Amino acid sequence: MDSSQQHPHLPDDFIQLCQSVTAKRPNAVIDHILQYGFVTTEELKQRYGYNHPPRPARDVREHGIPLETFRVTGTDGRRIAAYKFGDISKARFSRLSGRTGLSTQLKDELIKRYGCKCFIYLEKVDKRELQIDHRVPFEVDGEPELESESFMLLCGSANRAKSWSCERDS
């Protein structure tokens, strides 16, 4: 049976995009959603062993596959998050995988506007050590328009600390 017979409501190019993901974490999410329609954070933790369930969902989004988060009741009666495919028209078919690469042009624009410094530590940093980061975390806001207001420059240490903080809070 081909993919269009298994998932008649999903376009073939979307199925192909899903099947092109081979990394373990996002693949678990994608395969589960293809089979059952959605996956809960409880399933990601108990069935697949992911102690931080938002991470595999973020991995799926980073591969250009839109996910929608909604709430369901878990086995203990509490409300928990669940994920299903989002608006398929927003899937990013044009690249092999990963989020949009952020250009040196954007980096130069941010440096011109704000100076060559880390937005968190407010310290001057060599240009090559600065990293472009989303102001609003990718897993919250998705891929923003490539406008400088959507991004900030961080040193590697601040970027890791921000990422770690966001993961612990989600």
The CA-atom distances, in angstroms, between 100 and each of 8, 84, 103, 122, 143 are: 29, 22, 9, 26, 8
pLDDT per position as a tens digit, 19-73: 888 889 999 999 999 999 999 999 999 999 998 888 899 888 888 889 999 999 9
Same domain, 84 and 124: no
pLDDT digits (tens, 9 = 90+) for 112-155: 999 999 999 999 989 988 888 877 665 555 555 556 677 889 88
Q: Give the residue numbers spanning the domain of 16.
A: 3-90
pLDDT recorded at residue 2 = 44
* Res. 87 pLDDT band, cuts 50 70 90: confident
**What integer is the mean pLDDT of 94-110?**
64
Backbone angle region of 64, left / alpha / beta, with phi > 0 → left and psi within -120 to 50 → alpha: left
160 and 119 in a common domain: yes
Structure tokens at 81: 């998050």
* CATH code for the domain in which residue 74 is found: 1.10.10.10
Torsion-angle region of 149 (φ positive above 0: left; ψ -120 to 50: alpha; else: beta): alpha
**Does position 170 have pLDDT exceeding 50, yes or no?**
no
Same domain, residue pair 150 and 76: no
Identify the three-state secondary structure at position 67. Answer: strand
CATH number, domain with residue 136: 3.40.1800
